[in-house]
Structure 1
C-alpha cells in the first residue's frame, strides 16, 4: 500500500458531517460500561476538542482503562451516548475507531524491539512498489518519510537503522506519537506515557504531547500524575471508582486542587478522623488533607 493509494486508515468516513471548528471531535455523554453485574464506568461525560489536551486522571481501578477501551473501539458502551463529529457511534472494532481518526498509543507501544526505527514506523502499513505479484517494500521511501515526519515533530535520530529497542523510553513514545500523527490521527489517546519514565524522559514526552496539540490534534492524556497533567493539560477529568469526580477546565482548577482530588482529599480527611479514635496516634501532628498533597518538583525543560 502506498501513501497515495485509497485507504480508510485514519481517515474520516465519507458520511461524516463536517466538524464544527469549535465543537468536540469526540464526546461522551453520561457514558458507562457494565460487565454483567459489575459496573466499571457510570455517568462519564467527556469532550475532546481539536488543539486541546484533555487529561484523564485516576488511581488504579478508577476506570481509566475502561474509558480508553470504549473510545478506541475495543469495547462498546452500555449506557449513555458516544459521539464523533456530533454523530452517535458504536464501534465494533479498533479499526472503526481508526477510520474515524482515533488512534491509541498504549504503554507497550506496539513496537518490535529488534526491528529498525523506520520499519516500526510503518509496521502494518508498509509502502510497497512494483507490479503484483512481485511487489516489494519501498525501503528508501519509508526511510525518507519516517525521517521527515520525525523531524517534523522535532525528533532527530542519527540512525533510523538502529533497533527501536535501543532508544530510550521517551524516544520510543515520541516515535509512536509521530507515527499516529502521520497516519491521520485527529484524536490521540496516550495511555500512561510517562508512567515508567524518569524525570528527564517524562519532560521529553510532555514536550511532544504539546507539539501534537499545536498541530491541531485532540489529545487524551491518561495519567495518574497530576503534575505532568497540569503542565500540558487544557481540561481535567478525575475518575474515582468508575465515576467522574472532577470535570474542569484549566482556569477552573489549580494544581493543588487537582492533586487533592487525585489523592482523595475527602478520604484523607475521613482517615484522619478515624485515626483520632486510635490510642497513641496524635492527629494534631498530622497535616491537613491539602498539605498531604503539596506539589513536588516538575521535570526540567518540559513545556
Structure 2
C-alpha cells in the first residue's frame, strides 16, 4: 500500500456514480485538482454487469476510484425495494472493487452509509461499533450491502495489499438530491412538501413519524471535500466517519426547513409512518484528528439546497 500523503496530481480519477448527488459533488470538488476526470454513463455500462465493468476497466485503467455509485433512497424505498437494494448494491461494489484490483488502481475509496451501524449502538456512533448488534430493520438489506463493500475493501487490503479505504458519510443533502414524493430522503422530502404547501396555501404539513428521532445532516459539498482530503491523507484499514458531530430532532429540523422555504402553516406528525433508528450521530473524532471539519452551517446548507431545488438542480 502506498504511503500518505497520496498524490492526486496528474492522475486519472474515476468517479463511479457521477450523476448522483454524491458523485456530482465529488466532481465539483475534483475539478479544483489537477487530475484527469473519468466518468461513465449508465447507458454505456451498467455497473451491475460484471463483464461490462471488467471490460471497461481493462480499457480505461483509472488510477484512482471513488466508488459513490449506489441504489439509494429514503426509509420507504429501503423498506419496499429490499431485494433491489441488496442485489444492486452488492453487485456494484463487488464488480468495481474487483475490477479496480485486476487493473492496478493505485487507490480506491468506498463510500458506505451510517446505516451500517447497529440500531441501538452507543451514541455517538464509533467506527468500531459496526457488526456489534442488530441493524435497523427498515434498511437492513441496504446496510448489509454496504457492510459487504467495506469488508471487500478490507479483504483486498489484507490479501493483496491494495490501498482501498472506506468512509462513512452521515445523512447528506444538497444539489442533486432525489425529490420523489415517496422514495426521497427526509431533507428532500421536507423541502418539497413545505414548498408545495406554500404554493397551494395548505394550512398544515404532515411530517412522517413522531418527530422525536435525532439525525445528523451534512451538506454534500462538505462531504466531497472530506473525501478528497482523506484520499490524499489517509491510507489506514479502519473506517472513517464523515459528519458534523452535531444532531437535531426531526421536528426541530422540519422547523428549520419550513422557515427557509417560507411556509407559515402548522406541522402535524404522522405516527403511522416509521421513525427508523431513534438516534444516529457519528463520532467524528477520527476525522478531526486527520485534519478535517465540516464548514457549512445547517441553516446555510438548507438555503443552498432549497435554491438548488428551485433551479431544478
TM range (shorter): 0.3 to 0.5
Greater share of helix = 2
Bigger relative CO (Cα 8 Å, ≥ 6 apart): 1
Q: If the length of structure 1 is used for normalisation, what is the TM-score?
A: 0.33
TM-score between the two structures when normalised by the length of structure 2: 0.32
Decide which structure has the larger Cα Rg and report it: 1
Q: Which has the higher strand share?
A: 1
